[in-house]
Amino acid sequence: MAIPIIVNLIVALAVFAFMFRQQSRHATFTVRVFTGLGLGVLLGAAAQAIYGADAPAIAGTNEYLDIVGSGYVKLLQMIIMPLIMVSIISAILKLKDASSLGKISVLTIGILLVTTTVAAAIGILMAKLFGLTAVGLTSSAAEVARGVQLQGSLETAKALSLPKLLVSFVPANPFLDMTGARKTSTIAVVVFAIFIGISATGIAAKKPEIFASFEQFMKVAHAIVMRMVTLVLRLTPYGVFALMFEVVSSSSYTDILKLINFVVASYSALFLMFLVHLAIITGTGLNPLRFVKKVFPVLAFAFTSRTSAGSIPMSVQTQTRRLGTPEGIANFAASFGSTIGQNGCAGIYPAMLAVMIAPTVGVDPFTASFLLPLLAIVTIGSIGVAGVGGGATFAALIVLSAMDLPVALAGLLISVEPLIDMGRTALNVSGSITAGTVTSRVMGQTDLAIYNSETAADLDEAEHAV
């Protein structure tokens, strides 16, 4: 192993030791996550300044740090299915009444879709204000290759239809879906968990002893799964540091500067949409500043990891432990929000891209005949993203193909894709948490004592509640 890599890893170990000491001194979860984020940015930038983004020392260091970063994300993905299963079943058993499930589903999905439409409109507005257009952009070899790859994926996007998507939500083999084998596995597991919960409540009156045994079993399973979630979440600051170091140290600032206008426009749209989330929270009578303070750790993780699905465990914990949302609603919002109505990936991004690309084929993107169909397609397409995967890329393919626009031009943005995707993912998670918080508030199930508490339970101390 080269000496520069050894030095870099020693520095990383020193950072880990410092964050472990923070934990032993009971620093709050938010402080530790912010520490990991900040040190990841600073040391990643320093490493690139010293070695260069393409240096072997950077690649070698990131290969080892990826054990921590990707390993942490995989651990989170590991607990997603068990968490969804036990939480939703337990929530239904507590209700002993499935009548509210329809209201929860309609409210949650409705909020996700409406906010996606608003996000698309904001994306269009920012594209107009910043004068974004794909006309005149030149392609590098990497961008051309990316365009060819997107063109090859176009048939998959065209073949997607809403009826096929809805059928894919039905778990023909729930045990296969528990492995995450399909792109819609998360929602399929939600559906299966609902069936189990409803079936169990159906025997509560007829076979009370069996129901009581099953209910006790679910309490034990729930306690074990929540303890497992707690153990994994304790690793968050370390995972955030590793992921952030990798992104910052290997990013090409030259490529970013070439498309700085698009980067600034994108983050302006993301910030405005986040303000919309806060306005919605305020409209329900909740304190928006307290909301920001409490959701920061999960948004920081989503930003660094670029995975909406991997953020589900932390999202659920944040909603239940810090925002006072019942576990059933929190799981619905986090699960649906990771695959349907993604405000960043399926709302802002494809709308901005369509407006940029339209002028290249002689279409004025700022006419009602273009904008109204675009908003409708973006909203419907945000459901379709769940069926094909690839997040923002496939959302863009669905929209561009439906609008008869050239998809290969989307490859022009490959150099800034990781940077933009970080913000998009954070907004996706913010949207799902907003949907859960609003649904809970509208249904009168929010624990206001938890939401309004200035000393909310730390996420890594959740074992005290199980």
Lowest average pLDDT, out of 92-106, 115-129, 234-248, 365-379, goes to: 92-106
* Long-range Cβ pairs for the range 144-149 (8 Å, 24+): 144/411, 145/411, 146/410, 146/411, 146/414, 147/407, 147/408, 147/409, 147/410, 147/411, 147/412, 148/408, 148/411, 149/411
CA 303/CA 250 separation, integer angstroms: 16
Q: Which amino acid is at 192?
A: F
Could you tell me which residue, 371 or 397, shows the higher pLDDT?
371
> Binning pLDDT at 50, 70 and 90, where does residue 151 land?
low
User: Does residue 154 have a pLDDT over 70?
Assistant: no
Per CATH, domain 3-458 is 3.90.1150.10:
no
pLDDT band at 136 (very low <50, low <70, confident <90, very high): low
pTM: 0.80
CA proximity to 331, closest of 239, 180, 222: 222
Closest CA to 341 of 84, 120, 79, 82: 120
Higher pLDDT, 383 or 274: 274
Residue percentage of the chain with pLDDT more than 90: 42
Give the integer Cα–Cα distance in Å for 394 and 158: 10
- Residue 391 is predicted with a pLDDT of 64
Spatial CB neighbours of 19, under 8 Å, sequence gap ≥ 6: 32, 35, 36, 237, 238, 241
Domain ranges of the chain: 3-458
CA atoms within 13 A on the CB side of 35: 19
* Cβ within 8 Å of residue 311, ≥6 positions away: 76, 298, 301, 302, 305, 334, 338, 425, 429
pLDDT recorded at residue 457: 55
> How confident is the model over 385-408, as pLDDT tens digits?
654 445 677 778 778 888 888 776
DSSP state of 347: I
The whole-number pLDDT of residue 144 equals: 46
Query: pLDDT digits over 217-264, tens only?
Result: 999 998 899 899 888 888 989 999 999 999 888 877 776 776 788 889
Q: Which has the closest alpha carbon to 462: 316, 346, 340?
A: 316
Per-residue model confidence (pLDDT) at position 466: 34
CA-based end-to-end distance of the chain: 45
Q: What is the pLDDT of residue 436?
A: 95
Stretch 298-318: mean pLDDT, rounded?
Answer: 88
Give tens-digit pLDDT for 78-99. 888 898 888 888 888 876 555 6
For the stretch 188-209, pLDDT in tens is 888 899 899 889 988 888 899 9
Q: Would the pLDDT of 157 be above 70?
A: no
Assess whether pLDDT exceeds 80 at residue 350. Answer: yes
- For position 158, what pLDDT does the model report? 54
Alpha-carbon separation of residue 414 from 52, 251, 256, 271, 401 (angstroms)? 20, 12, 10, 22, 19
Lowest-confidence range among 12-21, 76-85, 407-416, 452-461? 452-461
Instruction: Convert the pLDDT of each residue in 10-64 to its tens digit.
Output: 999 999 999 999 989 988 888 898 899 899 999 999 999 999 878 899 999 999 9
Report the percent of the chain where pLDDT is more than 70. Answer: 86
